[in-house]
Structure 1
Amino acid sequence: MYNKYLVIDKSILPDIFDKVINAKELLRTGKAKEVTEAVKKVGISRSTFYKYKDYVFTVSEGGIGRKVTISLLLNHRPGLLSNILNIIANAKGNILTINQDIPINSTANVSITFDRANTIVELDVILQQIKEMTGVAKLRLIAME
């Protein structure tokens, strides 16, 4: 049997999962030296932390895949797609495919698949940088392999 993974928006999950992630981050960054200190800071029990720590990951931490496909709805602006590709390239992502529709009503659908095996920036940071760009009307993480 193999493990199955789901990518779920954390807004629909109980807060406990986010707290486990926060405790793991405190330990990883050295802001908490021991599990007891980390769980106390985030407000969960040690048993809760140990129950979920090996099963709850951020998208970047999970390592469940190296190929990422995102779907974008972009305003028709010169250089916008190039800037998005530069964000991925600057993070050492390797673009695999780009599919772009012809702009209709000044917006175009674009899908980009890239390899994140050698990225130096976490995936959620890359996605946030793209999402915050002027002209990006919508961004969705479609798949990870």
Structure 2
Amino acid sequence: MLKKYLIVSKKILPDVYEKVIEARNLINDGNVKGISEAVKKVGISRSTYYKYKDYVFSPSENSIGRKAVITMMLRHEKGVLSNVLNQISSVKANILTINQSIPINGKASVSVSLDISDIEQSIDDVILDMKKIKGVSTVKLISIE
């Protein structure tokens, strides 16, 4: 299912990966004012944080490979979101939450959290298929557990 990903023990990796996750958690939990404060607190540079922030995730113990969060930029046109949701349904992913911003300059940001425990293809293939939908500008995997 997740052919492009590996589960690797932290013991063999440089500590920078764990620090990136720690900085992201500080930001997401609101424990710091911003990225600069978070990276100072964990002892990494801003460039290191930006380099790895979209590529390192910390899985939870009970649900490895079961949930994913995807963000998209969609054109503000009839049926675009509906087509995305139909695509998600067709791969047997279950939608847990949907958050959509107000369209600005003809585009809206949409964040979708999914239960992917029943999908029959890789999450990478799901994202590639979503990118092919007319009206979808960008699709990005934010986190997976």
Normalised TM-score (structure 2): 0.56
- 2:128 aligned partner, one-letter code: Q
Aligned structure 1 segments of 4 or more residues deviating by more than 4 angstroms? none
- 2:96 aligned partner, one-letter code: L
Gaps of 5+ in 2: 1-7, 18-62
Tell me, in whole angstroms, the C-alpha distance in 1 between the residues paired with 2:141 and 2:72: 9
Tell me, in whole angstroms, the C-alpha distance in 1 between the residues paired with 2:85 and 2:9: 32
Tell me, in whole angstroms, the C-alpha distance in 2 between the residues paired with 1:110 and 1:137: 11
1:93 matched residue in structure 2: 93
Equivalent runs, 1:1-145 vs 2, <5 Å? 3-4=9-10, 64-145=64-145
Q: CA RMSD in A?
A: 2.2
Higher normalized contact order (CA 8 Å, seq sep 6+, divided by chain length): 2
Work out which of the two has the higher radius of gyration on C-alpha atoms and give 1 or 2: 1
SS of aligned partner of 2:85: helix
Tell me, in whole angstroms, the C-alpha distance in 2 between the residues paired with 1:3 and 1:117: 23
Percent identity over the alignment? Answer: 43
Normalised TM-score (structure 1): 0.56
Tell me, in whole angstroms, the C-alpha distance in 2 between the residues paired with 1:88 and 1:71: 13
Cα distance, 1:65 vs structure 2:
2.2
Write the deviation string for residues 42-77 of structure 1: whole angstroms up to 9, x where unpaired: xxxxxxxxxxxxxxxxxxxxx942101011011101
Tell me, in whole angstroms, the C-alpha distance in 2 between the residues paired with 1:90 and 1:133: 13
Tell me, in whole angstroms, the C-alpha distance in 2 between the residues paired with 1:121 and 1:81: 21
How many aligned positions are there? 88
Gaps of 5+ in 1: 7-62
Tell me, in whole angstroms, the C-alpha distance in 1 between the residues paired with 2:120 and 2:86: 14
